Amino acid sequence: MFGNRRALLRGIGWATPTAVVSTVVPAYAMSQHDVRFDVNFDGGSGANGFYNTTYLNLGIAPGGTAPFVLTQDLVISVEVVGLNPDSSRERSFSAGSSDGTIVRGTYNPATRTIPLTWTIRAGRSIPRAGIATSNPDIYFIFNDGGLSNRITNKIVITSITGGSTSRALPIDSSVIKDYRSGNVSPDGIY
């Protein structure tokens, strides 16, 4: 029937369906170090040097994919800088966050700064930069800065570990100003 065994096997080979093996290649997983974070300041509820409240908000920079779930802790170093030239006078304030922990350092009269370390734990979802309640934030309450020659402050982000920022460091509240220009004190000085 068939001329030889070889022709028979060749015919069977072409007629036999073959299984196609497919492997799914996972999509590129974005590293946390590839994500650009952005910060903004929202506050200025009182005149400079008087009782004042403000927020430091964190989010994904414009153009980035949001939300992003942190794969490792994000550590942000912040300084509250006194703008009064009298370094012996430190303005009292409190800082808190429901998004991680804040460790407060001691006042340095030489630089008129109080360092804060804000740690946001892995697993926290970070939305696009904004002032919504879903944005991780630090809430600052600055007390009255005195009767004369009032103490005023600015907030400066000095470093970020576990990610990068869309702006060059340091990020100074008095340079980028408040998110809302209609605040009582929109100049980023509190």
Residue 119 near residue 61, CB atoms below 8 Å:
no
Which string of DSSP letters, residue by residue, matches 97-158? -SSSEEEE---BTTTTEEEEEEEE-TT-EE-BSSSSTTS-EEEEEEPP--SSS---EEEEEE
- Give the model confidence (pLDDT) of 4-23 as tens digits: 544 544 555 545 554 444 44
**pTM for the whole structure:** 0.82
pLDDT of 143 reads 94
CA distance 117 to 105: 8
Averaged pLDDT in 10-residue chunks for the chain of 190 residues: 48 50 46 87 89 95 94 97 89 95 96 97 96 95 87 96 94 95 90
pLDDT of 183 reads 85
Residue 66 near residue 128, CB atoms below 8 Å:
yes
pLDDT of 155 reads 98
